[in-house]
Amino acid sequence: MANGERVHEGAAACAAGKLGERFRIEGDPTARTYTCTDTGGSVLGDHRDIWFASSDEGYAWWVEV
């Protein structure tokens, strides 16, 4: 990732200017605090790309939120 860490739960890709920013998502069943630890060319503005270990895990989370 852009900050040198390996991917992990709570990691998110954000716009370059938001690297290091922490955020929470209302209604998140995990009540997790996410950290912008990576950037991406398609991650613009306030969009956040949250990392999950599998697409099934991500989909299950999305259904809950």
pLDDT digits (tens, 9 = 90+) for 18-43: 999 999 999 999 999 999 999 988 89
Beta bridge partners of 33: none
Residue 37 lies in a domain: yes
Please tell me the total count of domains within the chain: 1
pLDDT of the residue at 42:
87
Residue 44 lies in a domain: yes
pLDDT of the residue at 53:
94
Residue 3 lies in a domain: no
pLDDT of the residue at 1:
85
Longest dimension (CA), the chain: 31
Count how many residues are written for the chain. Answer: 65
Residues near 41 by beta carbon (within 8 Å), at least 6 away in sequence: none
The two structure tokens encoding residue 41: 């060319």
Residues of the domain holding 60 = 11-64
The two structure tokens encoding residue 59: 């989909």
Residue 22 lies in a domain: yes
